[in-house]
Structure 1
Amino acid sequence: MSVQFNHTIVHAKDNRESARFLAHILGLEVGPEWGPFVPVATANGVTLDFATAPAESIVLQHYAFLVSEEEFDAAYDRIRAAGIDHYADPHLKQPGEINHNHGGRGVYFMDPAGHGMEIITRAYGSHERPEAGS
């Protein structure tokens, strides 16, 4: 078997709130709670297990999700409908915009715990680079 990423634990101020938030934006389901975890599974089988942690112990992380053009449209509509601050860049300098990096579209936003979330339609490095001198 080749190495595969299976799951990660995402610390949150409220595990249910953060799991519901991400699942809603991405059009995913919140899985059944088990122990201290509230899981959200992606299509490729990777699970984000949200766990409540004291606010002062949460280390902010970045999570990027590769989506189809249609999924991007739906997620972006939900972001705007909910009035969620969003940005074209990870430094949060281009509010209310999306980017067109790597020949696709992308947007950054924060989850309720302050983690940086990103949705993209093209994987980084997947676009064709122009020939030198073109």
Structure 2
Amino acid sequence: MTVELNHTIVAAHDKEASARFLADILGLEVSPAYGPFIPVPIPNGVTLDYMDAVGAIAPQHYAFLVSEDDFDRIFARVRDAGLTYWADPYHRHVNEINTNDGGRGTYFDDPNGHSLEILTRPYGSGARR
């Protein structure tokens, strides 16, 4: 059996600005609108489809597994944008990164309150520090 995640919808107050935020931070491209969606394709074949939402948005968590070199580039863009970042999902360790599983990771929020995470090692792949 083959099952792959193809796409997910990301609620946003401004789908164009939110898609551009993610693409700029991760170094990706925004695709042309498709119906009510602004897609941001991720290199592993999954697309995040941004869609305008009215009212409160329930924050979601999106984690991106990246290489060490990509982590450096993305983390530099996070810092250059003046974003607050955390070493943990509970936002207790402000302006820190973690070294879980022998890699590096950090969390930051998008303009809609979604928690974005970049990590260089999948959880459970090594010793925690």
- Tell me the TM-score range normalised by the shorter chain: over 0.9
Compute the RMSD of aligned alpha carbons: 1.1
Q: Which runs of 4+ in 1 moved over 3 A?
A: none
Runs of at least 5 residues in structure 2 that lack an aligned partner in the other structure = none
Structure 1 or 2, whichever has the larger Rg, is: 1
Cα deviations by residue, 1:17-51 (Å, 9 ceiling, x for unpaired)? 11000111111000111111000111110000000
Distance 1:128 1:88 in 2: 16
What's the secondary structure of 1:55's corresponding residue? coil
Q: Could you tell me which residue of structure 1 aligns to residue 76 of structure 2? A: 77
Distance 1:102 1:5 in 2: 25
Percent of residue pairs identical: 59
Distance 2:55 2:22 in 1: 18
Cα deviations by residue, 1:47-81 (Å, 9 ceiling, x for unpaired)? 0000010132x211000000000110000000000
Matches within 5 A, 1:16-35: 16-35=16-35
Correspondence 1:108 to 2:113: no
What letter matches 1:124 in structure 2? Y
Matches within 5 A, 1:28-43: 28-43=28-43
Distance 1:117 1:13 in 2: 17
- Displacement, 1:126? 1.1
What's the secondary structure of 2:101's corresponding residue? helix
- 8 Å CA contact 2:100–2:127 kept in 1: the answer is no
- 8 Å CA contact 2:22–2:110 kept in 1: the answer is yes
Q: Could you tell me which residue of structure 2 aligns to residue 45 of structure 1? A: 45
What letter matches 1:114 in structure 2? G
What letter matches 1:39 in structure 2? P
Runs of at least 5 residues in structure 1 that lack an aligned partner in the other structure = 130-134
Distance 2:14 2:63 in 1: 21
